[in-house]
Amino acid sequence: MRVGIGYDVHRLKEGRKLILGGVQVPHEKGLIGHSDADVLAHAITDAIIGAAGLGDIGEWFPDTKEEFKDADSIELLKKVLNMIKGKFLINNIDCIIIAEKPRLTTYKKAIKENISKVLGIEEHKVNIKAKSEEGLGFTGRQEGIAAYAIVSLIELGIDIDNQVK
């Protein structure tokens, strides 16, 4: 069993779409970044990369590369899944989205369904939590949104360099 943690944060700006876990959430502001700025997808991607011992998301998808400009973060997550295919299985994932607004209660189910579909795992293995910060910090002031993810992977008996153990 291997465990990885991921974190991401992006600023909010009017005129952008708000995408969380590949789901568009109606809001007057969206996240800005080099890609679509999906903080949840980025945190999950980073957690999987970490659990597999492959560094971090910035090493694989740097914001200095034009090929990742406006990238769909779910597609980047799929690339990481292909990297670990045959080496690891995702056991479970637990996520926290930190946003003062919008309230995410009504969107958590759609986000959970989408993430489980993308990861190819049962919905009960994905947990999505949403928290506000009671007006504190940059998320509380609605300047940005943050996300954390923790992923547990089951090693399949082949190490990352394809060497049979």
Tell me what the mean pLDDT of segment 66-82 comes to: 87
* Residues contacting 137, CB < 8 A, separation 6+: none
Tell me what the mean pLDDT of segment 135-150 comes to: 95
The DSSP bridge partners found for residue 42 are: none
Look over the chain and give the mean of its residue pLDDT values, rounded to a whole number.
92
The kind and range of the H/E element at 149 are: strand 144-155
User: What would the pLDDT profile of 19-65 be if each residue is shown by its tens digit?
Assistant: 999 999 999 999 998 888 999 999 999 999 999 999 998 889 877 77
Q: CB–CB of 70/78 below 8 Å?
A: no
How high is the pLDDT of residue 63?
79
How high is the pLDDT of residue 162?
55
Domain segments of the chain as ranges: 2-155
Q: How far is CA 12 from the centre of its chain?
A: 17
- CA–CA distance, 134 with 46 (Å, rounded to integer): 27
Q: Is the pLDDT of residue 163 over 60?
A: no
CATH architecture of 2-155: 2-Layer Sandwich (3.30)
The DSSP bridge partners found for residue 120 are: none
The helix/strand/coil state of 33 is coil
* Residues contacting 81, CB < 8 A, separation 6+: 48, 118, 119, 120
User: What would the pLDDT profile of 3-12 be if each residue is shown by its tens digit?
Assistant: 999 999 999 9
Which range has the worst mean pLDDT, 66-75, 100-109, 135-144? 66-75
Residue 60: count other Cβ atoms within 10 Å of its Cβ.
16
